[in-house]
Amino acid sequence: MNKKIAVLAGDGIGPEITKEAINVLKKVADKFGHQFDFRQGLVGGVAIDQTKNPFPGETLKLCLDSDAILFGAIGDPKYDNDPTARIRPEQGLLAMRKELGLYANIRPVFVFKSLLDRSPLKKEIVDGVDFVVVRELISGIYFGERGRSNDNKSAFDTSEYSVDEIARIAKVGFEMAGKRRKKLTVVDKANVLETSRLWRETIQNMEKDYSDIEVEYMFVDNAAQQIIKNPTRFDVIVTENMFGDILTDEASVISGSLGMLPSASLGLKTSLFEPIHGSFPKAAGQNIANPTGIILSAAMLLEEAFEMVEEGAVIRNAVQKVLDDGFGTRDIATKKVMGTKEFGQKIVGAL
Ligand code: IPM
Ligand code: MG
């Protein structure tokens, strides 16, 4: 197959981990007789530096003109420490999600057997963890009205959800559960928030269409606790934008390193694949960043966007093998610590 992949490496460690994912994809293309055409675009801090816009129109065009998007990371401390900065790299990510209609963020949470000891949680608790968080990505408090009072003495952010937006993401959750262990946990704060009550009502009305799925409703504070205490109890979690953001950072510690987990953002026009970690500016350019999250995101890209199921599995198996052999970047190595590049090459070699 011939496919066009937009590559947005972004900030911090973005460029170096993205390079390793591209090497993996090139090797897979060779092996299976595909042709992948990689085209780079600007987003985030680097895009501000070069164009004053964190998500330039040219990048939007590139994305819409591609079959899938591979994304590295976004964020630069020079903006984090300046709350008055008017243009911020994160605006690029949010604009990109919104303009591309990427409403469903799929974040699988799992452990590699060889890394069980790396998790800060007890082995018995994390062994066998395998769940997916389906996070709504283009609505809620991230995109609601916000502002300051005239005297600058107060500020507000609003969360808004429509029935259509809730039903659209819930459908993804139900269908995902249908392909897995048939259990859906809806996470909300319906004891306090009106938007959460609309989530419950909407999803309760959908239950009859998915009679084979067991549905439970859980408050977000309780879910935060259960993810640490009993994470194997979850199969598919569906939740709103901000709860999903927070719970997935929390859940990532289960896998032993924030650098491990991939994600897919599925949309109305295209789909984007990115690791769940940030730009890790302190590690940028030092050849120490863990590229596993983006390499596994590349596997999701092949499976979800191109229906290349075997190709995706080949990548996963190669990662598994290299980890089982004890190789890894310093956050995950059990026998031999390697640099980003060397670890990437090792995975390519195992393909
Ligand atoms: C994520 C990130 C982003 C988010 C930031 C960088 C805006 O934390 O993808 O989880 O909050 O969605
Ligand atoms: Mg986050």
In this predicted structure, what is the pLDDT of residue 72?
A: 97
Residues of the chain below pLDDT 50: none
In this predicted structure, what is the pLDDT of residue 4?
A: 98
Centroid of ligand 2 to alpha carbon of 245 (angstroms): 4
**Set 249, 321, 325, 341: catalytic member:** 249
For the stretch 298-315, pLDDT in tens is 999 999 999 999 999 999
* Helix axes of 14-32 and 340-350: crossing angle, nearest 10 degrees: 10
Nearest to 96, CA basis, from 142, 50, 39: 142
Count Cβ neighbours within 10 Å for each residue of 173-191 and write b for 16 or more, e otherwise: bbebbeeeeebbbbbbbbe
Ligand 1 environment, Cβ below 6 A: 74-75, 90, 93, 245
**Set 19, 245, 331, 346: catalytic member:** 245
Task: Tell me if residue 143 falls in helix, strand or coil.
Answer: coil
Nearest to 76, CA basis, from 284, 246, 340: 284
β-bridge mates for residue 107, sequence order: 133
pTM for this entry: 0.94
In this predicted structure, what is the pLDDT of residue 81?
A: 79
Task: Tell me if residue 140 falls in helix, strand or coil.
Answer: helix
- The tally of CA atoms less than 13 A away on the side-chain side of residue 349 is 9
Q: Residue whose CA is closest, atom 11 of ligand 1?
A: 245
Closest ligand 1 atom number to CA of residue 241: 12
Centroid of ligand 2 to alpha carbon of 244 (angstroms): 8
In this predicted structure, what is the pLDDT of residue 210?
A: 98
In this predicted structure, what is the pLDDT of residue 180?
A: 98
**Set 142, 161, 210, 346: catalytic member:** 142
Asked if 103 is an active-site residue, the reply is: no
In this predicted structure, what is the pLDDT of residue 142?
A: 97
Distances in Å between the Cα of 148 and the Cα atoms of 47, 152, 294 are: 28, 6, 37
Asked if 76 is an active-site residue, the reply is: no
In this predicted structure, what is the pLDDT of residue 164?
A: 98
Strand stretches in the chain, DSSP E = 2-10, 35-40, 68-73, 104-110, 130-136, 146-148, 155-157, 183-188, 214-219, 236-239, 262-266, 271-275, 327-328, 336-337
Residue ranges and CATH numbers for the domains of the chain are 1-108+267-351 (3.40.718.10), 120-255 (3.40.718.10)
